[in-house]
Amino acid sequence: MKLVLATQNQHKITEITQILKYPGLELLSLTDFSLAPDIKEDGDSFRENAYLKAHQVTQLTGETALADDSGLEVTALNGAPGIYSARYAGEAATDIDNNQLLLKQMAEIPQNKRQARFCGVIAIVKPNGESFFAKGACEGLIATSPKGEHGFGYDPLFTIPKYNKTLAELGPAIKNQISHRAKALSAAREIILSLLA
């Protein structure tokens, strides 16, 4: 079975392929199709955006597609940046831009009020239109400055209390067990195995 990852984000491709390795499952990405579709993420939720991406890639490739949409929800900011996490500081924002804006927004928030969660939804869409969903979440705190060299996005600011380290400090071995994406992929794995059967 071929499964097309509906992303060109190399960090996501690496994370997903590390978690979803199965005999009989061929993982591809948009780069394997020389496609650079302009997929609009204009849904009102992570679930809608994940579906929009997977559905469009299935239509373009004729193969089953997997897409995720995820983001950071900060309690003190009423759930922001949420579905706008990747473009929090603007459409062309870099990870550094987004992190700097978040730190600015959180400057006056005391340590005991810095709770946040990463949320993610995975959509799997088959060429016949069938769709399946899985979700995951990871609870943490927003650090007062970036720490660590691993990961991407908000990983340098997202502290896991159990380890007292950011995701960027923990590295991929632990992140791929505890992250929102890892949890969503774990749930998606059962769906994929049933499709392989």
pLDDT greater than 80 at residue 34:
no
143-172 mean pLDDT: 94
- Annotation says 69 is catalytic: yes
72-81 mean pLDDT: 97
Tell me the per-residue pLDDT of 165-180, one tens digit each, with 9 for 90 and over. 999 999 888 988 899 9
Q: Apex CA 121: angle with CA 118 and CA 123, to 5°?
A: 160
Question: Are the beta carbons of 38 and 8 closer than 8 angstroms?
Answer: no
Return the higher-pLDDT residue of 97 and 23.
97
pLDDT greater than 70 at residue 36:
no
159 closest CA partner among 108, 111, 88: 111
Tell me the per-residue pLDDT of 85-138, one tens digit each, with 9 for 90 and over. 999 999 999 999 999 999 999 999 999 999 999 999 999 999 999 999 999 999
CA distance 193 to 3: 12
Per-residue pLDDT at 26: 92
State the DSSP string of 134-175: EEEEEEEEE-SS---SSS-TTTTTEEETTTTEEHHHH-HHHH
CA distance 116 to 108: 16
Tell me the per-residue pLDDT of 58-67, one tens digit each, with 9 for 90 and over. 999 999 999 9
- The mean predicted confidence, pLDDT, of the chain is 92
Q: Which phi and psi angles does 90 have, rounded to 5°?
A: 130, 165
Task: Give the helix ranges, DSSP H, for 62-124.
Answer: 95-105
To the nearest 10 degrees (0 to 180), the angle between helices 180-196 and 10-19 is: 60
CA distance 7 to 164: 31
Q: Which of 11-25, 85-99, 133-147 has the lowest mean pLDDT?
A: 11-25
Per-residue pLDDT at 37: 67
When pLDDT is cut at 50, 70 and 90, the band that residue 197 belongs to is low
pTM here is 0.87
Return the higher-pLDDT residue of 14 and 74.
74
Of 32, 42, 68, 69, which is the active-site residue? 69
Per-residue pLDDT at 5: 93
- Domains along the chain? 2-196 (3.90.950.10)
pLDDT greater than 90 at residue 21:
no
